[in-house]
Amino acid sequence: MQSSRQKLQQLALVDCNNFYVSCERVFRPDLINTPVIALSNNDGCVISRSNEAKALGIKMGQPWFEIKALAQEHNVLALSSNYALYADMSNRVMNILHEFAPRQEVYSIDESFLDLTGMPYLKDMSYQIKQRVMQWTGIPVCVGIGPTKTLAKLANHIAKKHPRSKGVFNFNELSEQQKDSLLAKISVSEVWGVGRRLSARLSAYNVHTVQDLKLAHTATLRAQFGVVIEKTQRELQEQPCIELTEVEPAKKQIVSSRSFGAMVTDLNTLKDAVSLFTANACQKLRAQNSHASMIQVFLSTNRFRPELAQYNPCISVPLPQPSSDTVHINKWANHLVERMFKAGYQYKKAGIMLSEISPASQEQTDMWEPQEPVDTSLMRTLDALNARYGRGTVSVSTQGADHSWHMKQERKSPNYTTDWNATPFA
């Protein structure tokens, strides 16, 4: 229950519409009103769709090869994902949003919570947010407002779905009766935290709509479905349980892995690939000022080809001392690849995971082991060069000339915002 002493929160969830596709359209206005999709790494699955593509029945997460014919038939433009572009556009959007609220949580690449508590004329402000983001970046957004994060997300869903809302919906403006009838019309699967499995299990308990979940017997819910859904229920009942997290907490594990564009059979190529993944993972680690003391390396064959021999080895080792040094960690990673490698398999994917992560500052040292002074200058220079001239400008040497394993990206747009040579409207 909402305590009477507690001020009603006004939380906004601002979500970009069809974000990746919208980013592409900013630099290709000719694509507006046409079916466009963005594909996952390796041009594998559909991960963003324009409204026109959705209308054709193209599903989120659908494998590209399944819809290729349909796409050709309807002139759907399919683009490889261009993360440099999306990350840059995201930063621009997030910076604009931050101007509207002192407290902001950047929840994902295309979503941000804003705390608008105590501010007047929220609807006007929301339209202003939409308008300014559109004018300054070309990205369309929707705004949902509610007393909790879960209800703000739901409000955003309503704003997106109902044209009459014109992209803004404030749950807090509704009467109790309006809330009841609205929530009774929305499927429980639309609730943040309720996925496919959970909604199937919930329906066995006759919980089908958001209102059903809001009114369900709490103790039973807790016993059958756990603490997460209990929090969700309380949030639907307007009792805040999920706090706004303004500063992003340091990651507890960092993974870098990728499927290969072509199957890999030889050890050296695998080592090259893992070296690159290690460099990426270590750079992320240094970016958050951390060290890791456990590394895990894994290889895998193609699980979608059961007729081929399968092998999915994975080994982890503790590091003698916590580190974020690419060269050092790469020695271990290479060693693990050698240990796991078995000839005769067609490898489709590999990766590295860094864990047992601690702040780089408070180093725990073993008083019995003589400590080698750690030279961080090489890594700092490397990070600085890559930040200045673009990722991959400088990397730890790999001799391999065979690059056939690199990601398939046959349909990528230019890096419009970060590459001087990119020509828009080509």
Among 54, 74, 132, 251, binds DNA (CB under 7 A): 251
**Distance of alpha carbon 103 from alpha carbon 328, whole angstroms:** 40
Rounded to a whole number of angstroms, the minimum distance from the CB of residue 158 to DNA is 14
CB atoms within 10 A of CB 144: 26
* 253 touches DNA (CB under 7 A): yes
Report whether 283 contacts 326 (CB < 8 A): yes
Among 305, 331, 339, 342, binds DNA (CB under 7 A): 305
Residue 247 or 426 having the CB closest to DNA: 247
Ranges within 378-417 binding DNA (CB under 7 A): 407
Return the structure tokens found at 135. 């004018």
Rounded to a whole number of angstroms, the minimum distance from the CB of residue 377 to DNA is 25
Residue 188 makes CB contacts below 8 A (sequence gap 6+) with 194, 199, 202, 203, 207, 208, 209, 210, 212, 213
**Distance of alpha carbon 212 from alpha carbon 297, whole angstroms:** 45
Compute CA 157 distance to the chain's CA centroid, rounded to the nearest angstrom. Answer: 18
Among 4, 5, 135, 196, binds DNA (CB under 7 A): 196
**Distance of alpha carbon 279 from alpha carbon 159, whole angstroms:** 42
Rounded to a whole number of angstroms, the minimum distance from the CB of residue 343 to DNA is 20
Rounded to a whole number of angstroms, the minimum distance from the CB of residue 165 to DNA is 18
Task: Please count the residues of this chain forming the interface with DNA, following the rule CB under 7 A.
Answer: 47
Rounded to a whole number of angstroms, the minimum distance from the CB of residue 21 to DNA is 13
- x/- binding map, residues 211-230, to DNA, per CB under 7 A? ---------------xxx--
- Closest C-alpha among 220, 242, 243, 244 to residue 231: 242
**Distance of alpha carbon 180 from alpha carbon 183, whole angstroms:** 5
Residue 132 or 406 having the CB closest to DNA: 406
Among 123, 258, 335, 411, binds DNA (CB under 7 A): 258
Residue 69 or 426 having the CB closest to DNA: 69
**Distance of alpha carbon 404 from alpha carbon 407, whole angstroms:** 8
Among 29, 193, 390, 392, binds DNA (CB under 7 A): 193
Report whether 334 contacts 352 (CB < 8 A): no
Rounded to a whole number of angstroms, the minimum distance from the CB of residue 228 to DNA is 5
* 194 touches DNA (CB under 7 A): yes
- Parallel/antiparallel/unpaired status of strands 168-170 and 141-146: parallel
* 130 touches DNA (CB under 7 A): no
Among 118, 197, 343, 370, binds DNA (CB under 7 A): 197
By three-state DSSP, how is residue 244 classified? coil
Ranges within 55-114 binding DNA (CB under 7 A): 61, 63-65, 68, 107-111
Rounded to a whole number of angstroms, the minimum distance from the CB of residue 410 to DNA is 10
* 304 touches DNA (CB under 7 A): yes
Rounded to a whole number of angstroms, the minimum distance from the CB of residue 293 to DNA is 12
Taking each helix axis from N to C end, the angle separating 267-287 and 377-389, rounded to the nearest 10 degrees, works out to 90
Residue 176 or 243 having the CB closest to DNA: 243
* 24 touches DNA (CB under 7 A): no
Rounded to a whole number of angstroms, the minimum distance from the CB of residue 243 to DNA is 12
Residue 145 makes CB contacts below 8 A (sequence gap 6+) with 10, 11, 12, 13, 116, 122, 126, 152, 155, 168, 169, 170, 171, 172
Residue 29 or 318 having the CB closest to DNA: 318
State the amino acid at position 260 in one-letter form.
F
**Distance of alpha carbon 398 from alpha carbon 393, whole angstroms:** 13
The DSSP 8-state label assigned to residue 373 in this structure reads P
Among 57, 249, 344, 373, binds DNA (CB under 7 A): 249
| Residues contributing to the site for DNA (CB under 7 A) | 40-42, 44-45, 47, 61, 63-65, 68, 107-111, 153, 191-199, 226-228, 249, 251-259, 280, 284, 302, 304-305, 349, 351, 407
